Structure 1
Amino acid sequence: MTRPAGSATGLDSGALASAFAEAFQRAPEGVWHAPGRINLIGEHTDYNDGLVLPFALPQGVSVAGSRRDDGVIEVRSLQTGGTLVTAPVAGGPVAAEGRPSDRAWAAYPVGVARVLREHGTGGASLLIDSDLPQGAGLSSSAALECATALALCDLHGVEIERPALARLAQRAENEQAGMPCGPMDQSASLLCTAGHALLLDCRSGLSTQVPFAPAEAGLTLLAVDTRAGHTLTGGEYGRRRAECERAASLLGVAALRDVKDLAGALGSLRDPVLRRRVQHVVTENHRVEAAAGLLRAGAPAELGAMLNASHLSLRDQFEISWPEADAAVDAALRAGARGGRMIGGGFGGSVIVLTATDRAPRVRDAITTAYAARGWTPPNFLEARPSPGAHRTR
C-alpha cells in the first residue's frame, strides 16, 4: 500500500476509497482533495503583512476519512507504506513530542485536528495520498493541512468560512508543526479557482481572483523541480523572518508592508543585512501589484520582467536562492524564455519559467543540459496550470 508522491498524474478518489477500506476495514465517509500551489510572485511578503499572487496546481493531496467518536485521530499515508500514526486529538504542540523522522509528516494532520477541536471537530481515521513531488517547494504540507481540515469539518458537521479555515490551518503549522509560515499557502489551497491567480492581502485576508490562463495566450509556465530538496523548519527561514521583524521594529512600523519611503528607510538602517531584507520586501510588494495589473490588462507575456526582477532580488537582497535555481533561470533565459524565478521559502525546491509554448521544449532541453554539464541530478518538469482549490471529490 505504497505510492511515492509524484509517481502518477492525478489522484483517483475511488482507488483511495478502496485503499481506505483495506486499511481500516470499513468504507470511508468521503474523500477530499486540496491542491499544492505555485506563487506567481510575492515571495516572503506574506509574513510581512504584504501581497502575494499564488495559484493552485492540479496536483495535491487527497484524504479519505471516516469519523471517530473516541477523541483519537489515526492517520496513514500511502507515501510512507501505510504506517499507522495514532494520537489523541486533545494535546499540545505535536512538534514538542519528538516524533521520529519517518513520522514527522503526521504533525500536520494531527496538528490540524488539535486546532480544529476548539471549533467542534473530533477524531477521525484518515488515509492520505499525494501526487505532489516532495521537497519541491509546492506546498505539500499546506495541501495536507487543508485536505485534513475539510475532511474533519465535513465529518463532524462543522461549518467554517474558508478564509477563517485557512488561518486555522496556518495556525496548526505555526504552533503544532513548528513552522513560522505566513497565510499564503493555506489560503491558496482553499481559495484559488481555475484559470485565476489569487491576489491576497495577507494583512486583511481580503482576496481577489485575477484572470490567469497562460495557455490561452500561447504561453507555458513550467515548474522546474531543481531536485535540491529543502526543509523550512530549519533555521534560515526563521532567521529571515526575525530579520524582517527586527527591521520593522527599528523603522517604527507594524510590518515591512508599511514602509512607504524606501530610500528613507534604507538610509536610517545601519545594518546592511537589514537594508537588503527591507529592499526586497518593499519592492516585491510593488512587483505583485504590477503583475496583477498586467494580468488584468490581458498582458501575461509581460510578466517575464517581473519574474526576473523577483529572482534577482531573492538572490541578492534576501539571499535565499541556491545554485541549481540560478542555473535553471539562466539557462531558460538563454534559451529564449520570457522570465523565471525561484519560488518558495528558498535554499532548495523549484523555479518557475514563463515561455512561449513553442519554445518550451528548447527551454527544457537547455536546463537539462546545464544540469548535466555540472554533474547534477536531472531536473523534473511539470506544466503549471491554474486549477481549482480544495474540494470534496467523493
Structure 2
Amino acid sequence: MTTATEAGTAEATAPEAARTLFTALTGREPDGLWSAPGRVNLIGEHTDYNDGFVLPFAIPQRTVAAVGIRADDRSRVFVASTFADEPVEVALDELQELFPTAAGAEPGVAEWAAYPLGVAWALGQDGVRGPGVDIAIASDVPVGAGLSSSAAIEGATASALNDLWSAGLDRTALARIGRRAENEAVGAPTGIMDQMASMLGEPDAAIFLDCRSLETRLVPLGMAEAGLALLVMDTRVKHAHSTGGYGERRASCERGASIMGVPALRDLSVDDLPRAQELMDDVTFRRVRHVVTENQRVLDTVEVLRTRGARAIGDLLVASHASMRDDFEISVPELDTAVDAALAAGALGARMTGGGFGGAAIALVEQDAVQSVSDAVTAAFADAGFAAPTLFTVTPSAGAGRDA
C-alpha cells in the first residue's frame, strides 16, 4: 500500500498534496476539494466555553480535504492524511461504537483520524447520513501551534460531507458539528470559537462572537491600511487540548460559576470580583478573574478598533498575556520569551494565542519592523537555549468552502 508520506510530499501545496494522496490511495480523481482555514485569536482566550466573547480571525493557512463518494456499495469512511503513514477505514454503522461520547475519553482511533471521522459521526447523530466516502487530507496549518489545525480538519470535512450528503446545513450549524466532534469524539473539552472562526472567516476582518447566542459581527481590522502586520511566533512546543491542563481549567471555571450562583462566568462582571475573592480559594479565584477580565478586554478591543483603530489595541494584548500567564497559568517559558522579546524589539502589543501549554504567540508590529522583531525573537530563543521558533505573518482570510 502506498503510504501517506510517500504519496504527499512536503513540497506540494496542500491542494496538490490532498489530490495526489487521494489518487494514490484510491486510483481515481476526487469528486472535489474542500478546505477550511486555521485561525488566530486576536483576543479572548478560554472565554468561549464560559459563554463569553472572543475575537478571532481566519488565517491563510488551510487544511484541504479531497473527497469522493465510494464506487462500491460499502457505507464506509476511508480517511488518510499526509501527516500519518497509514489510512483508517471505518464502516459508518460502526462510528457509534468507535466514539465514547464523553469529553476526556479516548477515541477508538488515532487522534488525527478522530477529527474527520468524528465529523461523520456527529452528522449521523443529527440524522444526516450519506454514501460511503474516501477522504484524503493535507494541511499547511501548523499542528499543535494553537492555530486550530483541528478545527480546520473539521471544517474541511464538514463542508465536504454537507455537500456530498446534501445536508443543507449553514455554516453555524457546521461549526456546531465540528465542536461536537471535538468534544465528544476526540474528547477535547473546547468551546466553539475555533470552528466558528474557521467556518465564518472573511478577509480583513475579525469575527466578534458571542459564544452564548452564537451571534457574530464582522469587525474590520484595517491592519494593512494602518501599516501594521500580525506576526505569529510558533514556539514549536506542542500541546494537546485533550490532555489534563485544559480540562482542569474548564473545571475551575465551572466551579467558580457554581460558587457565584450563575450559569456561566459570562454572567459576572469586573465589579463581582471582590465578592468572588471572598468566596473562593486562591486558584479558583484567579481562574475566574482571568475569564471575567478577558471578556471585558474583548469588548474593549472591539470598541477601540471601531473608534481608534488597530494601532491602539497593543496594551489590551499585553494585559491579556499577563492574565493568562499569572491568573490562568497556561503560558510556558517559550511563550513568555516570544512576547517579551517582541515587545522589547518594538512590537505595539503581543500575547500568547490559543489554548496554551505551548503553541504560538502573536505580535502586532509595524510592517517595516517584521524582520527586526523576528530577528530579536529568534535571538532570544537561542540565548535561552530553546529550539528556534517558526515565524510568519498572517492576514485575515476567507472561511471554509469548496475549492474545486
TM-score (norm 1): 0.94
Q: 1:307 aligns with which of 313, 317, 322?
A: 317
Could you tell me which residue of structure 1 aligns to residue 69 of structure 2? Answer: 67
CA distance in 2, matches of 1:2, 1:303: 42
Aligned position for 1:104: 111
Q: Which amino acid aligns with 1:316?
A: D
- Deviation (angstroms), 1:67: 1.7
Distance in 1 (CA, whole Å) between partners of 2:195 and 2:82 is 22
Residue 120 of structure 1 aligns with which residue? 128
1:1-394 to structure 2, matched below 5 A, reads 1-2=4-5, 7=10, 11-12=14-15, 16-68=18-70, 70-81=74-85, 83-90=86-93, 91-94=96-99, 99=108, 103-117=110-124, 118-122=126-130, 123-260=132-269, 261-394=271-404
SS in 2 for 1:38: strand
1:220 aligns to what SS in structure 2? strand
Are the counterparts in 1 of residues 7 and 20 from structure 2 also a CA contact under 8 Å?
no
- Equivalenced residues, count: 390
Distance 1:3 1:106, change over 3 A: same
Runs of 5+ unmatched residues, structure 1: none
Query: Shift of the alpha carbon at 1:298?
Result: 5.0
Query: 1:264 offset after TM fit, Å?
Result: 3.8
Which amino acid in the other structure matches residue 20 of structure 1? F
With over 3 angstroms needed to count, the CA separation of the structure-2 counterparts of 1:3 and 1:334, relative to structure 1, is farther
Structure 2 unpaired stretches of 5+: none
| Aligned-partner Cα distance in 2 for 1:172–1:98 | 11
Q: CA deviation at 1:78?
A: 1.3
* TM-score between both structures, scaled by the size of structure 2: 0.92
Cα distance in 1 for residues equivalent to 2:292 and 2:13: 38
1:56–1:389 Cα contact (<8 Å) kept: yes
* Secondary structure of 1:12's aligned partner: helix
| In 2, Cα distance between equivalents of 1:40 and 1:365 | 22
C-alpha separation between the residues in 2 aligned to 1:380 and 1:258?
Answer: 38
**Whole-angstrom distance in 2 between the partners of 1:85 and 1:12:** 20
Runs ≥4 in structure 1, deviation > 6 angstroms? 3-6
For residues 92 and 45 of structure 1, the distance between their equivalents in structure 2, rounded to whole angstroms, comes to 32
Q: Is the 8 A contact 1:262 1:279 kept in 2?
A: no
Q: For residue 159 of structure 1, report the CA deviation from its aligned partner.
A: 0.5
Could you report, residue by residue, the CA deviation over 1:71-123 in whole angstroms, capped at 9, with x for unpaired residues? 21000101224x210112232353667656xx321011111101112332333
Instruction: Give the whole-Å Cα distance in 1 for the aligned partners of 2:57 and 2:380.
Output: 28
The one-character-per-residue Cα deviations of 1:225-249 (angstroms, maximum 9, x if unpaired) are 0111111111110000000000000
* Closer/same/farther in 2, CA of residues 144 and 256 from structure 1, 3 Å limit: same
User: What is the percentage of aligned positions where both structures have the same residue?
Assistant: 49
AA partner of residue 296 (structure 1): R
Distance 1:380 1:204 in 2: 36
What code does the residue aligned with 1:72 have? Answer: R
Say if 2:176 and 2:195, in contact at 8 Å, map to a contact too. Answer: yes
Query: Retained in 2: the 8 A contact 1:10–1:59?
Result: no
